[in-house]
Amino acid sequence: MTLEEVFADDGPFGAAFPGYKLRQPQLEMAQAVERTIEARGQLIAEAGTGTGKTFAYLVPALLSGGKVIVSTGTKTLQDQLFNRDVPSVRDVLKVPAIIALLKGRSNYVCHYHLARAEHEGRFMRREDIADLQKVKRYANTTGSGDKAACPGVAEDAPIWAQVTSTRDNCLGQDCPNHKECFVLKARKDAQEADIVVVNHHLFFADVWLKDEGAGELLPACNTVIFDEAHQLPEVASLFFGDTLTNGQIIELARDARAEALVVAKDFVMLPNAAEALEKSVKDVRLIFKDTVRLPQHELKEKFPSFFSQLVEMTGHIQHLTELLAKQAERGEGLEKCYKRAAEMLALVEKWQKSDSAETVHWLDVTQHGFLLHITPLNIADLFQKQVNLNPRAWIFASATLAVNHHFTHFQHELGLWSAETATWDSPFDYKQQAVLYVPQDMPQPNTAEYTRAVVEKAWPLLQTTQGHAFLLFTSLRAMREAHEILLEKLKAAGLDWPVFLQGTGSRTELLDQFRKEPNAILVASQTFWEGIDVRGEQLSLVVIDKLPFSPPDDPVLSARMEQLTKAGRSPFMDYQLPNATITLKQGAGRLIRDESDIGILMIADSRLVEKQYGKMIWKSLPPMYRSRDLANVQKFYAVQREKARNNDVDGDMSTAENQHN
């Protein structure tokens, strides 16, 4: 069956989905994907919201008959592809393809750690005990062990840290529960499947880095498809570099102490050394009163005591490593702890050496701990080398990859110079469906009164749309300030509208509440800028406070800018501006999700229209009606909303298909 026949009005999709109509951009993208698979080439494809990119890459992938890995940006989309999209296309095409879902090991219940958690009883809360029993019942009845399917236990519940394994503490073939391991079962299923759905983090951590066998997937596959490919440069940088967290070190200390108490009770030096290490890790964090992100050379100037404390911590890791080496033969757990300690010692010693020309060594201090990073400044050569290892097709798809229809930035980031590139605009009528509003008389974005001004300018629009809004901010500080100001204004106006704040619940919980509540307003930071789908009047207004430029004091960004300057390139035009444009496109993409949606996009940052570079940014956004006049914007919304209500357009297959584009 040809692609033209598949996507024709009277084809299999027409029979399966009432109201289905051929969309030419979808067919064209499918044809481009088919050519790339046949040629084992590389394709970078930007498909606007509503194009139907998911089916556009799945149809040729399933018809190709080869093994395909589909990698997504989020576990939510991963589940959607596995549970809905891929089975739908497979059934319509009547292709006998086996589909598998593969996640990182921390997503699966571990029988060994479950039994150990129950035996040791190290619980911080009463709820943990109840959750443990629910996980235990689930482990006895489930076929997958996927924590996302465990009834009654939230995916972010503290108990999961105790009943799942990590790469560090997995016993591998020495595990007494090796034969019933859910991780190994999932990997075996993936080996035997035709279509394997993973996410970007797993692709790099488990497949690319060949962690315990999952690396066998890549050599066997004919095609790799990255959906939400705009996230790849950041994820790849993370996995091509090295990171050590205080949590990993503390977990090692606790595991070593627990193992020693079971198999080496006579060797009291070991638990004592583990306790001393744990204390020294906490002492490192206590040096900092607030969160910090600094390169190594600035730490020496601003926090000189950090290095002496780090040296002390390193000494404790070395001491524990030496003790574990002497006791490793007494048990598999101790041997595993010894190997982990040796790796950590090597990494922390490597971090203390100076930056090279290719990497930046930096520290990220969070509210609860710290992370030591060694990050490569340029991953293009590394990525290109891996892509060229074996002949196979590579598809990079997203709704936001191009800057003003050019892919130069994305190609630079990943070294994809020989890739074919193509764009397909959204079929939505943006000039009739949405208005872009940049308010006048705004203060400069770096001033103290800016966030209040954003809320003040958004206030009449919130009244126009009766809530039903996302207020998206580029920093957590601005988000919290705006939340307080908004609550004040609602109270003064006597409006009892529900306001949801990022961080007061999981992303899924907040979205579920937002969708259900009339007049709802969500105040959030960049967690909600992408991968969110709210259709209809429930989301009628999206407010973005600033152009999302990365903070110039970010250690990796600063080092990359310096490197670009030395190479004779413009850090702003070649790196900061393209990144900000792609991020803004993601945020703006929350507004219009369906052909019947009507909405207002307010970008408060006047640099969008007053700076020369702003023109490049708004030309990359969907072609909305544009105005700087508030009354004009309100009139547009009222007229178009009334038209939409009168038309009462029914959704077709595109509504069911394109929820994440």
Token pair recorded at residue 644: 């939409």
Question: How would residue 104 be classed by pLDDT, with cut points 50, 70 and 90?
Answer: confident
Question: How would residue 652 be classed by pLDDT, with cut points 50, 70 and 90?
Answer: very low
Angstrom distance (rounded) from CA 155 to CA 135: 11
Task: Identify the pLDDT of residue 85.
Answer: 94
Residue whose tokens read 């638990």: 271
Among 449, 622, 653, which residue's Cα sits nearest to residue 542? 622
Whether the Cβ atoms of residue 296 and residue 354 lie closer than 8 Å to each other: yes
Q: Taking residues 544-561, report their average pLDDT.
A: 90
Angstrom distance (rounded) from CA 47 to CA 40: 21
| Architecture of the domain whose range is 243-375 | Orthogonal Bundle (1.10)
Encode 604-634: b = buried (16+ Cβ within 10 Å), e = exposed. Answer: bbbbbbeeeebebbbebbbebbbbeebeebb
Lowest-pLDDT choice from 195-209, 222-236, 371-385, 645-659? 645-659
Task: Identify the pLDDT of residue 169.
Answer: 83
Task: Identify the pLDDT of residue 98.
Answer: 96
| 347-359 tens-digit pLDDT | 999 999 987 788 9
Q: Taking residues 525-529, report their average pLDDT.
A: 87
For β-strands 68-72 and 195-199, DSSP reports them as parallel
Residue 375 has pLDDT above 70, yes or no: yes
Domain ranges for the chain, please list them. Answer: 3-104+184-239+378-424, 108-167, 243-375, 430-657
Cβ neighbors of 616 (< 8 A, separation 6 or more) are 403, 404, 577, 581
Q: Taking residues 72-93, report their average pLDDT.
A: 91
Residue 294 has pLDDT above 90, yes or no: yes
Residue 121 has pLDDT above 90, yes or no: no
Q: Taking residues 108-127, report their average pLDDT.
A: 86
Q: Where are the alpha helices (DSSP H) in 572-629?
A: 577-588, 607-610, 612-620
Q: What is the CATH number of domain 3-104+184-239+378-424?
A: 3.40.50.300
- List the helix and strand counts (H, then E) for the chain: 31, 18
Higher pLDDT, 81 or 649: 81
Task: Identify the pLDDT of residue 660.
Answer: 37
Strands (E), 558-643: 599-603, 625-627
| 168-224 tens-digit pLDDT | 788 888 889 999 999 999 989 999 999 999 999 888 886 666 554 445 677 688 999
Task: Identify the pLDDT of residue 513.
Answer: 94
Residue 659 has pLDDT above 60, yes or no: no
Angstrom distance (rounded) from CA 639 to CA 390: 56
Residue 545 has pLDDT above 90, yes or no: yes
Rounding to the nearest 10 degrees, give the CA dihedral for residues 107, 109, 113, 119: 130
Task: Identify the pLDDT of residue 215.
Answer: 59
Among 495, 537, 481, which residue's Cα sits nearest to residue 514? 537
Angstrom distance (rounded) from CA 45 to CA 396: 6
Angstrom distance (rounded) from CA 206 to CA 212: 8
Q: Which DSSP string corresponds to 88-125? A: HHHHHHT----EEE---GGGBB-HHHHHHHHHH---SS
Question: How would residue 526 be classed by pLDDT, with cut points 50, 70 and 90?
Answer: confident
Higher pLDDT, 259 or 121: 259
Do the domains spanning 243-375 and 430-657 agree at the CATH topology level? no
| 507-516 tens-digit pLDDT | 888 999 999 9
Task: Identify the pLDDT of residue 465.
Answer: 97
| 11-64 tens-digit pLDDT | 999 899 888 889 999 999 999 999 999 999 999 999 999 899 999 999 999 999
Angstrom distance (rounded) from CA 199 to CA 589: 21
Rounding to the nearest 10 degrees, give the CA dihedral for residues 300, 305, 307, 308: 140
Higher pLDDT, 513 or 127: 513
What are the distances in angstroms from CA 6 to CA 12, 423, 655? 6, 22, 19
Spell out the SS3 assignment of 480-540: HHHHHHHHHHHHHHCCCCCEEECCCCCHHHHHHHHHHCCCCEEEECHHHCCCCCCCHHHCC
Angstrom distance (rounded) from CA 155 to CA 177: 23
Best-predicted range by mean pLDDT (175-189, 308-322, 542-556): 308-322
Among 280, 162, 240, which residue's Cα sits nearest to residue 414? 240
Angstrom distance (rounded) from CA 46 to CA 282: 46
- Domain 430-657: CATH superfamily, name plus number: P-loop containing nucleotide triphosphate hydrolases (3.40.50.300)
Mean confidence (pLDDT) of the chain: 90
% of the chain exceeding 70 in pLDDT? 96
Strands (E), 246-316: 292-295
Angstrom distance (rounded) from CA 476 to CA 498: 20
